[in-house]
A and B are shown apart, each in its own frame.
Chain A
Amino acid sequence: MMRVVIARGVSRTILLPILLLLALFSPALAQQYKAIDTRVQPLSNKICATCHGAYGQGNSVVGAPSLAGMEPWYLRSQLIKFRAAVRGVPSDYIPGYEMRAAVAELSDAEMDEVIAYIETWSPAASEAAITGDTARGAELYGNCVACHGAAGQGAEALKAPGLAGRDDWYLRRQLKLFQSGYRGRHPEDIEGAQMRAAAQLLKSEKDIDDVLAHISTLN
């Protein structure tokens, strides 16, 4: 037997239309195809959910971090960077590039809506998959404390996001992207450039594993 239970209503305010501006394209090419104006024809679903999950729990397989529990100020700063193609370019890192495309035409009002919606999610417990020497990691983490805080709580004033509670696969990937210069390379990404320099302090895979093992104890 099948039973269907209606649990409770959810907010319906969170439609994220993606608006493509035809004006961006040269007239000749604009005639080649028609981009959809989703104000007129809304898309089928919330745009974030496909990758980040229904409640922002994230999905490592498509490289989408958990959003639940991310600070609103940090979400905003990164959405602005993705929208302005300060993050997510060039195209070699596919998840970043996908994210850039997904928010390229997000309006300020829509950004407010999505951030407010994400705030309604309770953070999912992150699962630590990386093992390392936590004692050595705590020592290495000394380099991070000034900005990210002893408890990995982050500091908005310094534009340093919280690290505690973030998935370790995601932190590892971002560290690698900072180290390779993919992230923090754009001249307008001031904080990214700082982090890019800081990431170079971790000299080996073991350094990364150890510091992530320590961060996972901060949850």
Chain B
Amino acid sequence: MKKLVSRRELLGLIAATGASGAVLKASSALDIVPNTRVDIPQIPFANPSNRPSAVILGAGISGLTAAYELSNAGYECVVLEAAPKAGGRCLTVRSGDVIDEVGNPQVCEFDDEPHMYFNAGPARIPSTHRNLLHYCSELGVELEIFVNENKEAYYQDDAMLGGKPIKNTEFTTNARGFMSEIMAKSFNNQELDEPFDEWEAESLLSAIRSFGDLSEGDLYKGSTRSGYLKGGFLDHGVQKDMVAFRELLKSRYMNNALNANEGETGPVLFQPVGGMDNIVKGFVRKLEDKIYYNVMVSSVQLTPDGVDVAYEHDGLKYKLQADYCFNCIPTHLMTGIDNNFPQDYQEAMHYVRRGEAYKSAFQSRERFWEKDDIYGGITWLNQPIQQIWYPSHGVHKKKGVILSAYDFGGGMHFTKLTQEQRLETAIRQGEKVHPDYRQQVEKGITIAWHRMNHMLGCAARWQKNRSGMSHEEERLFHTLRQPAGGRHYTIGDQVTMHSGWQESAILSAHWAIADMVERRMGTSAMPGQRLS
């Protein structure tokens, strides 16, 4: 008798064999990975004799998006930016650029060549981030493939294999082999066989065997998928020895080696040719005369029919009155700027915590990773530096820029160190994977987002608890998403459920514009569904 198995039961079955990695893999295939659609707000073109005005605070990605769309619809726009350049956290560092960290300003000394740059903020564009890709296309920003996972890169963990690095392909091949052996053995049990008819059972079992490259008798005896010890072209390939499963289990990377590159960081990813800030430059080309730099906003006041903004620029004080304000100043800095926002709106701004992400980079004298078959991708280390990224571009050129540390969650470890300590730490930990690292790297730069002038933080943190937003947090979030006084919109990835991505910043601007149009016209401006 054919008995159908539900999706939950199937996952339960796989989980019952102890293969959590496979469950995660299966979940992301069956479940919904966060997705967006291209939702450009349809803004009725402004009456030229009575153009509505908008002041945009901050030339980050969300502010630029708002200014671009509103300008296209005939609105009168002014963008006020505190820094001497646009982009906010969309920052690409090249030769001669200043890294404006409070108390530790640096100047980048990389060689002055087009491929010698470092994306200090966002560095990858998932193919599902359609709105960002839409602007890349519209603004003429040329893209190339970004390699996130590289099977020839390494995992390194002091707890595993005596700290010796292991190639990604060797780690994952062995982990899958042992796991599928367990799955295959469990699957042959009568009770597990039951829910499936003969064909289904055969199909699943053959998938399990193939998943781990099992040998006769459903045993894992190593696999040439981890690469050959020697030979393989002119001579027979000699298979590498198996790695003891118990060794792999010692490492926390058992938890993410099989799913680190799925969902949003799964293939295909892109990067702009020549640096992420080409997106910023694309917007700026369209908005050149509307952006004012080195502006210090000192007051934002809601009025019955608009928003008044006071600011200082070039030694003079100004006051500007606009119909609308789109504000991507980080909430934790906006709380220090005089304003008359409603109490609950201020409360929400006070609640959000600032992110702590930290990145650093070196110029390398030679592309030493290419001699180790590595072209792009990430080496993971269970060390404070966490990651080493090899460039996806500039293949076979003499030098390259590598990311030498990326701590997204708790970047304060590095932020608290002096510049020399930060770089020395990165070198010492990088040496765990690349023995000649110290001789290869030079001219290090560090970006401690918690201390970058005008920003003082990375991606906004709304949740105190990892398990999700509390009711109170939901309330505060939705308070900040609504326009204060019906005229002032807080925008940026800081008012999305998915901070830290440019797509979120863009969608926040789209949402705010659509809401404004709806309030003006009494009709919906969005082709799709309202997010909230």
Contact = CB atoms under 8 A, between A and B. Distances in A.
A50 B450 CA distance: 12
B317 A3 contact: no
Interface size range of chain B in the complex: 35 or more
Q: Which 9 A-B pairs have the closest CB atoms?
A: A101-B103, A59-B336, A54-B298, A2-B53, A91-B416, A7-B317, A53-B336, A12-B315, A36-B105
Interface string B66-106: 00000000001010001110000000000000101011111
Interface residues of A, number: 53
Interface string A39-70: 00101111101111111011111101000000
B350 A10 contact: no
A101 B451 CA distance: 10
Given A38-B105, A57-B338, A2 B321 contact: yes
B445 A10 contact: no
B412 A2 contact: no
B111 interface: no
A111 interface: no
Contact of A33 (B318, B332, B444): B444
Contacts, number: 162
B335 A59 contact: yes
A46 B296 contact: yes
B106 A44 contact: no
Given A4-B320, A29-B424, A102 B102 contact: yes
Contacts of A35: 104-107, 419
B103 A104 contact: yes
B147 interface: no
A80 interface: no
- Majority SS of interface residues in chain B? mixed
B294 interface: yes
B52 to A, nearest CB: 8
Contacts of A203: none
Interface of B: 50-51, 53, 55, 76, 78, 82-84, 98, 100, 102-107, 109, 293-294, 296-299, 310, 312, 315-323, 331-333, 335-338, 349-350, 354, 412, 416, 419-420, 423-424, 442-446, 450-451, 453-454, 456
B412 A50 contact: no
A63 B202 CA distance: 63
Contacts of A6: 316-318
Contact of A50 (B84, B349, B456): B456
Interface stretch (A18-26, A71-79, A155-163, A181-189): A18-26
Contacts of A41: 98, 107
B82 A44 contact: yes
Given A53-B337, A64-B336, A102 B443 contact: no
Nearest to B454: A50
B296 A45 contact: yes
Nearest to B311: A54
B510 to A, nearest CB: 23
